[in-house]
Amino acid sequence: MAEDRQGTVPDTGPGGEPPQAGHSTPRGVLRLGLTVAALGVVFGDLGTSPIYTLQTVFDPKDPHPVPVTTQNVYGVVSLVFWSVVFIVWITYVLLAMRADNDGEGGIMALITLVRRWGSQRGRRAAAVLAGLGIFGASLFFGDSMITPAISVLSAVEGMKVVQPSLGSAVVPVTALIIVVLFLVQRRGTAAVGRVFGPVMILWFTAIGACGIAGIADHPSILRALSPTYALTFLVGHFGTAFFALAAVVLAVTGAEALYADMGHFGRRPITRAWMFVVFPACVLSYLGQGALILADRSNVSSPFFLLVPGWGRVAMVVLATAATVIASQAVITGAYSVAYQAAQLGYLPRLRIAHTSESTIGQIYVPWINWLLMVSVLTLVFAFRSSAALAFAFGMAVTGTITITTLLFFYVARAKWGTPKWVVGVGAAVLLTVDLLFFAANLTKLVHGAWLPLLIGLSAFTVMTTWQRGRQLVTQERERREGPLREFVDRLRSGEVATSRVPGTAVFLNRGLQTTPLALRANVEHNHVRHDQIVILSIETETVPRVPADERIVVDHLGYADDGIVHVAARFGYMETLDVPGALAMLDPAQTEGPLQPDRASYFLSTIELRRGKAPTMAPWRKRLFIATSYITADAAEYFGLPRDRTVIMGSHIEV
């Protein structure tokens, strides 16, 4: 049950770090463990960007190629370095990660903060920004499809450096790895996650060491750390630099994972891993690759793998493949979390969720999303066939999400913390200028593949907003049919409705306290029976990740305390598994005229069959989309954790 799983999660202290557990486990060891775990889960995408970033910038097949000159190499490497500083360091590590929703991060957490605090300063602005946030979450689905394809492709392409005759095997081998990756998702990441951290430590050590070797051969590349080279390149050769930004942004792919995974590891372990391991290793790799290109311009074909000594290239290809699989795993898991949170907040139907870890409730598996991603990723691999071709599409999803995150953060900073307007204005102006430059540069790749993440994002955004709107319409019509709950209970108590009282407990799931469950109304008006104990149960999904156990249950006797009819509100956070029997077991017997015995109760569900009506509530195509989307809804009994052998389903139909 959810409560059992939740009970195994250790308490965390400030910053998401576990408190010292007695004297057996020193705090330093716990911190080190969290930092290593963060390396394995959070930084896979960011950590593998050196494989393809500089190669893509100087790709001669690019529609706007960057000439390989000494000044351009210095300028590009400097741009890469300062882009990482501005976007990863400042936007995410220093700023966005401070805006958490009860410890959880990511763009969905920002949306809830905008809703909560924005309503106090202007509902219209908050609604617009929340909608923009949903579009950012939609773009993340595009990122989740492109990342596994480009990451695994870029690693397997190392085979061509080792042995050019193996070039024809790149796509089939990539497809095989991706299929295996998605097939093992149902087993969860708990077991394999233990090796993620050490593998990524080996990875960052290797790329850092290779970078140092390259710098040693051409130490003048260190001058690229000066911002003057980036500014000179950007201002003096704006046309070339502007188009180069579309590929430079690949250096910051995965930055959103820093924020999204904050709830799992805490801000401090992620910051430490970034500061002491990931950032230095990636910078050394970029500098080493720049030095290699300065030594021989032909090295632009694959500077990452050519930086590795010949004797170690086979091992590096294997290690790179392992690292890109980890990067893919992280973003796939992120897609599960975004879909789950979106369903909890009403933007998607209920989806079947499988928790894959007894100790970490955040590790989930969503079958429908898994198979959708697998088909999409394989389609991208066979359609684009190279990491360079996919890179044109990759940047659009990344820049869109980063820009929206920056905008939402500064709104929350003003609304929640009361940050002075001039500080918000200056900070937003600087960072949004950087973000919008990257976004505009990627728009130039629109016809070369950048349309793909926009199409995916617009499709997901349309589905989510249509579901939210259709759900509102169905709820309104359903409430009209159900009628007031207190009025119906008063009629039942007064004997106005003739019924026979039968022993046992009946639990009727409902949407709230105001209306009557359709199943209860049908049971009384058509079957003319009522149970000794009637529990009208509503599930409330809060805009916080988790609800404390002592705040889980709220009981309302509906005006009477001794007739066996009560309303129970069970409150769950959007990151929690719904478990109705487990929640009912927490009820005090004094509140329900004796123990409920949820393991023997009968559960009643009201189901709705949707039909397309003539009322102008939505455009006809949106009505069809809403009804089609409803077919992926998870089985209600399974979703609420109800025992199937004691669950009664009673149906009705509603036109939209």
Mark whether 555 and 442 lie in a shared domain.
no
According to the model, what pLDDT value does residue 574 have? Answer: 60
Burial of 76 (0-12, 13-18, 19+ CB in 10 A): buried
Q: What is the rounded CA–CA span in Å between residue 515 and residue 560?
A: 17
Domain carrying residue 423:
2-10+27-449
Q: Which of 392, 427, 449 is the last residue of a domain?
A: 449
Give the residues of the chain that fall short of pLDDT 50.
1-25, 359
Mark whether 444 and 487 lie in a shared domain.
no
Is residue 209 within 8 Å of 336, Cβ to Cβ?
no
Mark whether 518 and 627 lie in a shared domain.
yes
pLDDT in tens, 153-209: 888 888 887 778 777 888 999 999 999 888 877 766 555 556 678 888 999 999 999
Neighbour count for residue 562 (Cβ, 10 Å): 7
According to the model, what pLDDT value does residue 6 have? Answer: 31
Query: Helix, strand, or coil here: 308?
Result: coil
Mark whether 219 and 328 lie in a shared domain.
yes
Q: CATH number of the domain that 378 lies in?
A: 1.20.1740.10
| 66, two tokens | 């960057």
Residue for token digits 């820093």? 258
Classify residue 535: in a domain, yes or no.
yes
Classify residue 17: in a domain, yes or no.
no
Q: What number of CA atoms fall less than 13 Å from residue 635's CA on the CB side?
A: 9
Classify residue 51: in a domain, yes or no.
yes
According to the model, what pLDDT value does residue 251 have? Answer: 92
Mark whether 498 and 584 lie in a shared domain.
yes
Classify residue 459: in a domain, yes or no.
no
According to the model, what pLDDT value does residue 1 have? Answer: 33
Is residue 558 within 8 Å of 566, Cβ to Cβ?
yes
Mark whether 196 and 280 lie in a shared domain.
yes
Classify residue 82: in a domain, yes or no.
yes
Is residue 147 within 8 Å of 260, Cβ to Cβ?
no
Classify residue 531: in a domain, yes or no.
yes
According to the model, what pLDDT value does residue 7 have? Answer: 30
Q: Could you tell me the CA-to-CA distances from 296 to 68, 91, 211, 470 in Å, in that order?
A: 10, 35, 16, 60
Q: Which of 430, 449, 468 is the last residue of a domain?
A: 449
Q: How many domains does the chain have?
A: 2
Classify residue 559: in a domain, yes or no.
yes
Mark whether 428 and 509 lie in a shared domain.
no
pLDDT in tens, 414-434: 888 888 999 999 999 999 999
Mark whether 530 and 631 lie in a shared domain.
yes
Mark whether 280 and 216 lie in a shared domain.
yes
According to the model, what pLDDT value does residue 559 have? Answer: 65
Mark whether 428 and 528 lie in a shared domain.
no
pTM to 2 decimals? 0.76
Mark whether 376 and 523 lie in a shared domain.
no
Give the max Cα distance, the chain: 93
Classify residue 472: in a domain, yes or no.
no
Mark whether 500 and 442 lie in a shared domain.
no
Q: What is the rounded CA–CA span in Å between residue 267 and residue 538?
A: 35
